[in-house]
Amino acid sequence: MRTQISNLKSQIGFTLVELTIAMTLLALMAVILYGAFYLGQRAVEKGQARAEESQRVRSVEEVLAGYIRSAYPYRPSPRDPSIFFSGEENGLTFVSALSLGMGGRGMAEIIISWDGEGDGAGQLTLGEEVPLRLEGESSAEGYRNRVVLGERVTGFRIEYLDPQGNEGQWVNQWDGKEKRSLPRAIRLTQRGKRGEEIRWVFPVMMSVLAP
């Protein structure tokens, strides 16, 4: 009788091997669940980062599009055939008929500049000055604004479509004093966060509508 009771007690409890196996399985399940949670959280963070980057790029595109499409063939004087427009591969200065700082009214001098070199990273900025003051004019107080469009913009360059050249002929510089006209379009290129090429082409409306 005592032997049967002892055997029954031994069958009710857990052995050390069984406990070890159970703890190992629980640990494996915890690791798997944590890994799934971590991967899911990382996927959500990456998705949010991409959405924020896409929104930022669209916002920059809208701002640049408004100014560039409204580029105006401003002449310093009625007798001077030259046009105030200076375009380089890493910067652009021109007169726009759109002034966001003044609620869309009046012309403004616009400066788009990138301080990087080659394929390196640099800061992309946009400056607006109202009222329009060119060389030799009075330096009365006015509205000046400078906005950083991107902190670490890489591979940035500006190109200009020649209305007098062959179709699709883009050049790296545009001098309004020499050309005496605006380019037909302006193309801006940069590299995105994942190395992809981002390209914007903005037609210059005053150039397109001019005879």
Listed in sequence order, the DSSP H helices in the chain are 2-12, 16-69, 176-179, 205-209
Question: Residue 24: its pLDDT value, please?
Answer: 87
Q: Average per-residue pLDDT in the chain?
A: 81
pTM above 0.75, yes or no: no
Per-residue pLDDT band for 11 (boundaries 50, 70, 90) equals: low
Q: What is the pLDDT of residues 66-120, one digit of tens each?
A: 999 999 998 877 777 888 999 999 999 999 988 876 666 678 899 999 998 877 8
Question: Residue 210: its pLDDT value, please?
Answer: 45
The 8 Å CB, 24+ separation contacts for 119-125 are 119/154, 119/155, 119/191, 120/154, 121/152, 121/153, 121/154, 122/152, 122/153, 122/154, 122/156, 123/148, 123/150, 123/151, 123/152, 123/153, 124/60, 124/148, 124/149, 124/150, 124/153, 124/156, 124/190, 125/149
Per-residue pLDDT band for 209 (boundaries 50, 70, 90) equals: very low
Q: What is the pLDDT of residues 118-150, one digit of tens each?
A: 778 899 999 998 866 665 555 556 678 888 998
